[in-house]
Amino acid sequence: MRKTRGMDNAVRDEIVRFVLASPENRHRDGREHYFDEPLVGFASAADPLFDEYKRIIGPFHRTPAQWMAAEPDAQVLLQGTVICWILPVALATRETNRRERVWPSREWAHTRNHGENFNVLLRLHVVAFLLGRGHRAMAAQLSPDWKRIDDTSAGIASSWSERHAAYAAGLGTFSLNDGLITERGIAHRCGSVITDLVLPPTKRSATDPRGNCLYHRDGSCGICIDRCPAGALSREGHDKSKCREYCHAEIPRAVGERFQVTEIGCGLCQTLVPCEGRIPRIGEQCAPGEVAPRG
């Protein structure tokens, strides 16, 4: 067990510093950030929830200990931490995407593509930060053992879910569209690193894993259903296959070359919705300052 006093603040401060200071967290014109100040949370690597994910997601979903065991010179991970972060999409980008109805805005597409490239750099930076202080660390999402599984009881899934790690770290709850609604909303990217450094876990205050979603809270929303141009959302939930076909095939064919990006998600169900930038309040029917969509 490796535990260092005050390292929780040091890790959190370093993630915030890197996000706000890195020139890679900027659009190509250099004027706007992809992401605003991040949220950071910690989950115990021994949290029973990671074992429960094998039932909820599938037996292929690895625990933190299993990921660390696959590393070179691995030792048994008896205790440790999953360090998680949320990168909120900048307001200026969200505003451009609110106006769209079929394809993502150029700014959103660049955030999905180049912003996620920055998220990769952040994972590598956090790993290096911990290794430099004598701790073991790895990013499951960057491991050659990370796999996407197309045909599971939960639909399209993977051997490590950044959203489920963030939920375990107390950073939010799930929504009708399967996104994670955090205190900074649903328009974001997630990341995580697993380490043998023991940090105090962030308390999971939510008693319902979908408690931040208005639809699941009291049935009063469902605006994301109307925002989805692929017809992948309904009151029954999220059709991952329809969503993936639209985001990974139709959108790139339509705007990929024009926007000069390869990885694109439309993000329409994450903008112009009450949970876009915060946990919505009962009775909210649109994003703050916007008119609710009709239909």
* DSSP letter string, 245-288: HIIIIIHIIIIIHHHT-SS----GGGSSSTTSSSPPPTT--SST
pLDDT averaged over 10-residue windows placed end to end, the chain, 295 residues:
74 98 92 96 97 95 93 74 98 97 97 97 98 96 94 83 98 97 98 97 92 93 95 93 93 94 92 96 65 39
pLDDT at position 136 is 94
Query: What pLDDT does 150 receive?
Result: 85
- pLDDT of 263 reads 82
Q: Tell me the C-alpha distance between 50 and 31, whole Å.
A: 40
What is the Cα–Cα distance from 66 to 76, expressed in whole angstroms? 9
- The two beta strands, 237-238 and 233-234, are antiparallel
pLDDT of residue 1: 46
Which residue matches tokens 């073991």? 136
Contact criterion met (CB below 8 Å) for 51 and 166:
no
Q: Given this model, what pLDDT does residue 185 score?
A: 98
